[in-house]
Chain A
């Protein structure tokens, strides 16, 4: 894997957004039957912090991210970003999916440039694309097509595609979920670096307890669907962290307990 050697460009230091989620409930229609996925979820996230949403798969964490991105709207309650109710999707809040979902007909450079092109500001900000590609350590791969990249590289491109828009809120939906375990460990460290350098608010959805504790400052644990918050753990450890830290092991036992898996520890 390519080591991250680029210093934080000033352009990426933007203030993170504050999130206030107030009694949000959401349900889907499944064959005519309402299927509740979120049940009066409420919490706030301080600007610039890194928060994990942890819970069993299918519990509605990803739905919450889609609501925050503005791709869907909640059945009840309100999601506020910097005090304003979330409306349509906006490039200041970017969602990174589990699959990199790069456009296969576009090169790495063109994929990263997607947001700027969509907003009609590509001509004046081409250097931002180059910078974002450098930032994720993929300099020199500008002209490669997605099918020529490894899973880890593709996910880096997806991150660059998000970061080039200078988002103030980065929504990560299990972005490392499909990577092999070694690439995953490398990318975890890099995610922390990117977050620190960009100064944005980051929300990570994961069902990996260790990942949540290693990366973030606060872990919100969700119960099974319909999701509600069952625990709110503060990870009071400075960065850079060490995977073998006994405090992490302690927090892990606590988290697994909330997930009903204490016996496995």
Chain B
């Protein structure tokens, strides 16, 4: 749990680094990054393409814009606040990205060393974003909506089940064997049955995503509740606590760090189920977009959709990190993040 987000602690050290550079006066890495992105722009603009493609000019402008942004940060120092700090922290990454971009550009659009259409050039992916953004945006909307529904119900069901079996011996007696048998089964194994049993493929997918989410959340909530220090209950009881207080104000807050581990695991598995459900049943969403693009051999669209999907998933994970940091702020200093 401590190693899930290493960047979090690393980035905390960035201000120190930043202060050192501010004292030195010139941000050398920033200047190098600016130069390399200008180089990328020049390469795109000046080296003729082997197969002429649209949006080469736009791509060069974007590269110049990146160069300009980095240059502004390098010139203004700390005036731009935390944004500048983040840009400075990722300074070396800006250079690396420029090198990768240039290499990618050369082996695809400029020389055609990598075979078309399986490998797309940067500008052909840009073309997808310019010309097909509406469909992509709609796909993201459908994916997020479907995921949110399934994840919400799954997390809620998992949490409630976990608390119940963690608290009640009778519930544990009956639920535990069922969990042991059904839990490890991948949610995708239910897919054919779910599409048959549920009235719509949408509701079937919500069920499958919920199922995939619920299992890890249940197990970790349960183990969290079960590992609460017994003394907490004794303390609360001598202070006059009733059972409802023991559950809501003692057991659940104490188990929350475990619950969040379960929520992270559940989110990870729910992504897999989401994509498969969209590919096989639901006629919308990024999974469907991937399938559809493959059907048309539109490889650039696939790369674009993969990129969007990566941004979506990591964005959702980031949101969950924020929620965890906010709800478990008491743990700061207690646990190394």
> What is A's interface to B at a CB cutoff of 8 Å?
66, 69-71, 88-91, 93-95, 97, 99, 101, 103-106, 114-115, 117-119, 145, 147-148, 161, 165
Contacts and interface: CB of A to CB of B under 8 A. Distances in A.
22 contacts: A71-B237, A88-B237, A91-B238, A94-B239, A97-B234, A97-B235, A101-B231, A103-B232, A104-B331, A104-B334, A105-B253, A105-B254, A105-B328, A105-B330, A114-B236, A115-B240, A118-B239, A118-B241, A145-B333, A161-B235, A165-B239, A165-B240
Interface stretch (B49-57, B161-169, B242-250, B292-300): B242-250
Nearest to B335: A147
Nearest to A161: B239
B128 interface: no
B240 A89 contact: yes
Nearest to A147: B334
Contacts of B234: 66, 71, 95, 97
Given A71-B234, A101-B231, A165-B239, 11 more contacts: A66-B234, A71-B237, A91-B240, A93-B238, A94-B239, A95-B235, A97-B231, A105-B330, A106-B330, A118-B249, A161-B235
Q: Shortest 8 CB-CB distances between A and B: which pairs? A: A115-B239, A118-B241, A91-B240, A119-B240, A89-B238, A105-B330, A147-B334, A89-B237
A94 B234 CA distance: 10
B111 interface: no
B238 A69 contact: yes
Interface of B: 229, 231-232, 234-242, 245, 249-250, 253-254, 256, 328, 330-331, 333-334
B253 A147 contact: no
Contacts of B231: 97, 99, 101
A104 B330 contact: yes
Given A94-B239, A104-B334, A165-B239, A118 B254 contact: no
A84 B328 CA distance: 43
Contact of B250 (A103, A119, A147, A148): A103
A238 to B, nearest CB: 32
Contacts of B334: 104, 145, 147
